[in-house]
Amino acid sequence: MFFDPAYMIFVALPTLVLSGLAQWYVRSSYNHWLKQRNTMGLSGAEVAQRIMRAAPELRTVRLEGTPGELSDHFDPRGNIVRMSPSIAQQPSVASMAIVAHELGHAQQYAEKSALIAVRQFLLPAVQLSPNIAYGLILFGLFTQATGLLWLGILVFGLSVVFMVLTLPVEIDASRRGLALLRQAGLMQTDSDSGGSRQVLTAAALTYIAAAVSSVLTLLYYVMLAQRSSSND
């Protein structure tokens, strides 16, 4: 099916274009604002500490380093925000924005956000569903077993729901992050606020691209199933 012209036109090409543009914008925004010093002259680790002092619900969050670039993340299992070296150590606008975003995730968990709860509920199934779905879809296509094909599409749909739910979770974490920066008194200039928004908007585009790609793939599988049904 990967050589199906319909797949190339309606799934592969849009995914390639959207993902490429999103990655380019992320890298461009990140590189620009990583060079711009935030007004307070605080590193990412120092920003995190300021935010945590201003937000009581975040005071139990632990801070750790992690290797790599753009590898920053929040680990809910240990209530840990892990920061890459450039973010933890540099007093940049990008550092400020990315740390605040990860602490936004920590706040979601601390406040038991409904979106987080639904996504976590789906996570165990989603970790297995893509491989199971692909197997059922391929077997259904090769054997012309339409029922198995539809079952595979249903299982794949779980991962699509997860990807779509990820988007509002990430947008909410960015919204919370900007609010945390304001609460901690770290939004001193237009450069601080405008740069932080640009960095976080760029990051959100990668999740939009992934969600669109997963929806297009699901629609393509539905088209295959309908085509298979009409041939029965």
User: 46, 57, 102, 111: which one is catalytic?
Assistant: 102
Residues composing the chain: 232
Distance CA 229, CA 24 (A): 41
Distance CA 65, CA 210 (A): 27
Distance CA 50, CA 65 (A): 17
Closest listed residue to residue 159, CA positions, set 134, 121, 122? 122
**Is 57 noted as a catalytic residue in this protein?**
no
Distance CA 104, CA 118 (A): 17
Rg of the chain over Cα atoms, rounded to whole angstroms, equals 21
Closest listed residue to residue 10, CA positions, set 1, 202, 98, 35? 1
What positions carry a catalytic annotation?
Answer: 102
